[in-house]
């Protein structure tokens, strides 16, 4: 068999058991050597799982990696092994990356610049609005949004990214062909079409409560930073934040109403040193992603830096609101470029969005 088939076989045998599987593979030196090991060798190896070497050997004998690969292909699901060059770089470097990930859709080099947005499954209207707005603004400037496709904040984050015309990645706690929750069937298809749906669990694996804490390390591992939007003091979102800290990634949080118990998680993180997030600009600043800005040029004796697109829009703004459609028409730029440039102007304090998709100039600079 090809080397990748041995990786696939082990992932199907021990999904969600990354630490144990890595111990087993390290002991034998390679997935092939571990696959070909006899029962005596397995008995002396670490990481054989709770059932022990006898059960592992029995299940290994019943599993055919070639047939598993064919099943994946038939379902339209790809898989990437840890030793493959296309394995996500951010995920590659965490403590216990999944040896194999299953994917619907595609990963690109752009996904290295990713932010995780996570939070409660039962958010307030405020939480939903904030999550969708943050995701939309991040997507508009080319930042991939990662979340878990759960109800609530996760769903709002994916939807916001899609509305912003960007890429989004959903990390599942079930098989890559299993829709959970059921109402997200259409959303899952949209994510796969323009981004990726990822899982470390093989086809048909149902969602189980213990899958999700392990899943959270992948969400944070794929991302350069994690933002928590509404979460109780004990929640999966805070587990994701803990993983992010362990992985050396940035942790940020959105403040909320002090009377709302869903603000306690983010507020605790802020007290512990997490960056307070009021908009996408805070995320960009915290993560040092200013390099994503278009090529800048000095204007007005160095008082401000603007790209050509930003300058064109800035010239059209005044104290009177100008509608987004008018700005698009007058600049002749693509809507995505206009939205991105307006966001940068907001970050720099030179523009402000008003109700009804209109904008005004807030910073007065000579050009």
Helices (H), ranges, 228-298? 236-246, 264-271, 280-286
- Provide the pairing of β-strand 304-306 with 196-199: unpaired
Q: Is 168 a domain residue?
A: yes
3-class DSSP state of 354: strand
3-class DSSP state of 105: strand
CATH of the domain at 41: 1.10.150
Look at residue 293 and tell me whether its pLDDT is greater than 60.
Answer: no
Instruction: Determine the Cα–Cα distance for residues 354 and 335; give it in Å rounded to an integer.
Output: 18
CATH of the domain at 301: 1.10.10.10
Q: What angle do CA 224, 253, 268 make, to 5 degrees?
A: 125
* pTM of the entire predicted model: 0.82
3-class DSSP state of 331: helix
Q: Based on the domain organization, do 348 and 234 belong to the same domain?
A: no
Peptide bond into 181 cis (omega under 30): yes
Q: Based on the domain organization, do 193 and 219 belong to the same domain?
A: yes
Find, among 192, 158, 194, 200, the residue nearest to 175 by Cα. 200
CATH of the domain at 202: 3.40.50.450
Q: Is 80 a domain residue?
A: no
Q: Based on the domain organization, do 255 and 177 belong to the same domain?
A: yes
Q: Is 27 a domain residue?
A: yes
Q: What is the pLDDT of residues 65-75, one digit of tens each?
A: 999 999 999 99
Q: Based on the domain organization, do 271 and 322 belong to the same domain?
A: no
Say what the pLDDT of residue 215 is: 96
Q: Which of these three, 238, 259, 286, is where a domain ends?
A: 286
Q: Is 87 a domain residue?
A: no
What is the DSSP secondary structure assignment for residue 350, as one 8-state letter? S
Q: Based on the domain organization, do 262 and 116 belong to the same domain?
A: yes
263 lies in which domain range?
Answer: 109-286
Q: Based on the domain organization, do 184 and 269 belong to the same domain?
A: yes
Say what the pLDDT of residue 303 is: 54
Complete edge-to-edge strand list for the sheet that includes strand 196-199: 78-81, 100-105, 196-199, 168-171, 144-147, 114-119, 225-229, 250-254, 275-276
Q: Is 143 a domain residue?
A: yes
Q: Based on the domain organization, do 134 and 182 belong to the same domain?
A: yes
Q: Based on the domain organization, do 133 and 282 belong to the same domain?
A: yes
- CA distances for 292 relative to 123, 138, 259, 289, angstroms: 31, 11, 37, 6
Q: What is the pLDDT of residues 330-354, one digit of tens each?
A: 999 998 889 888 888 887 778 888 8
Q: Based on the domain organization, do 251 and 267 belong to the same domain?
A: yes
Q: Which of these three, 16, 51, 74, is where a domain ends?
A: 74
112 token code pair = 């290295």
Q: What is the pLDDT of residues 102-147, one digit of tens each?
A: 999 999 999 999 999 999 999 999 999 999 999 998 998 899 999 9
Q: Based on the domain organization, do 120 and 250 belong to the same domain?
A: yes
Count up the domains in the chain and report the number: 3
Q: Based on the domain organization, do 325 and 231 belong to the same domain?
A: no
- Mean pLDDT value across residues 77-98: 96
Q: Is 88 a domain residue?
A: no
- Mean pLDDT value across residues 282-306: 64
Q: Based on the domain organization, do 276 and 127 belong to the same domain?
A: yes
Q: Is 93 a domain residue?
A: no
Q: Is 81 a domain residue?
A: no
């Amino acid at each position: 068999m090809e080397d990748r088939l041995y990786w696939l076989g082990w992932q199907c045998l021990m999904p969600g058991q990354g630490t144990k599987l890595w111990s087993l593979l390290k002991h034998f030196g390679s997935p092939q050597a571990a696959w070909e090991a006899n029962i005596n060798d397995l008995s002396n190896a670490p990481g054989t799982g709770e059932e022990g070497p006898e059960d592992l050997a029995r299940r290994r004998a019943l599993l055919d990696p070639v047939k598993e690969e064919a099943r994946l292909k038939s379902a339209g699901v790809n898989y990437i092994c840890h030793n493959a060059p296309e394995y996500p770089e951010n995920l590659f470097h965490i403590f216990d990356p999944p040896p194999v990930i299953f994917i619907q859709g595609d990963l690109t080099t752009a996904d290295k610049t990713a932010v995780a947005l996570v939070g409660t499954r039962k958010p307030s209207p405020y939480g939903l609005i904030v999550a969708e707005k943050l995701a939309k603004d991040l997507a508009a400037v080319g930042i991939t949004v990662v979340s878990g496709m759960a109800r609530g904040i996760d769903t709002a984050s994916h939807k916001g990214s899609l509305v912003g015309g960007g890429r989004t990645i959903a990390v599942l706690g079930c098989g890559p062909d299993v829709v959970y929750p059921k109402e997200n069937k259409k959303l899952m298809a949209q994510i796969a079409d323009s981004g990726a749906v990822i899982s470390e669990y093989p086809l048909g694996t149902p969602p189980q409560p213990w899958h999700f804490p392990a899943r959270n390390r992948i969400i944070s591992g794929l991302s350069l930073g994690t933002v928590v939007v509404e979460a109780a003091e004990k929640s999966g979102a805070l587990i994701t934040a803990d993983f992010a800290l362990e992985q050396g990634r940035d942790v940020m949080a959105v403040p909320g109403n002090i009377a709302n118990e869903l603000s306690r998680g983010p507020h605790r993180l802020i007290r512990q040193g997490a960056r307070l997030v009021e908009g996408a600009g805070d995320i960009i600043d915290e993560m040092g992603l200013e390099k994503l800005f278009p090529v800048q040029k000095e204007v007005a004796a160095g008082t401000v830096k603007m790209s050509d697109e930003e300058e064109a829009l800035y010239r059209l703004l005044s104290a009177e609101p100008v509608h987004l459609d008018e700005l698009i028409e007058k600049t002749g730029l693509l809507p995505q470029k206009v939205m991105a440039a307006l966001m940068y102007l907001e970050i720099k304090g030179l523009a402000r969005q008003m109700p009804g998709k209109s904008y005004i100039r807030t910073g007065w600079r000579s050009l």
